[in-house]
Amino acid sequence: MQRFAQTFGVLCAVMMLGATAQAKDSFDFKSESFDLPTGERMFTGPGADPVNNNCLTCHSAGMVTVQPRLSKATWEGIVKKMINVYKAPVPDADVAPIVDYLSNHSSAGK
Ligand code: HEC
């Protein structure tokens, strides 16, 4: 019980300190700026737009670029799987450009 009282006392003190500190600079928001490492999160280079538009909703680009160099047919299968199995809303017109981009840009393709 004594332990509880001690803990409680410390807690109160901390809360009071917190309240004082908050009162002093309440609503003093600071804006922080930082750069996201876009390289891993977005697709880059020519033809990247349809891939960025359709493939980043559910996972980062890393999920895709980490794949070994795969054939066009395999990439087509993966894109179809995203559409059919995971319900990726990819417009028909974007499928071919996406497959082209991926078969030219997967990690080992460099
Ligand atoms: C609706 C959500 C969704 C969208 C949009 C989506 N994916 Fe996926 N993707 C997934 C899920 C879920 C997995 C499986 C994750 C896991 O296994 O941990 C996955 C996994 C993958 C994998 C890993 C290999 C595999 O077959 O599992 C690749 C490559 C991939 N996605 C590529 C793409 C590409 C390219 C696009 C754009 C055409 C895309 N994804 C769009 C949901 C999505």
Q: Which amino acid is at 67?
A: Q
Q: Which amino acid is at 10?
A: V
- Structural domains of the chain, with CATH: 38-109 (1.10.760.10)
Out of 54, 59, 79, mutate this one to test ligand 1's pocket (max ligand atoms within 8 Å of CB): namely 59
Neighbours of 68 (CB within 10 A): 9
Q: CA 90, CA 57: separation in Å to the nearest integer?
A: 11
- Please give the distance, rounded to the nearest whole angstrom, from the Cα atom of residue 13 to the centre of ligand 1: 50
Q: CA 36, CA 39: separation in Å to the nearest integer?
A: 9
Global model pTM greater than 0.75:
no
Nearest to 64 by CA among 82, 46, 47, 49: 82
pLDDT interval class at 109 (50, 70, 90): very low
- Please give the distance, rounded to the nearest whole angstrom, from the Cα atom of residue 73 to the centre of ligand 1: 16
Read off the pLDDT of residues 47-88 as tens digits, 9 standing for 90 and up: 999 999 999 999 989 889 888 889 999 999 999 999 999 999
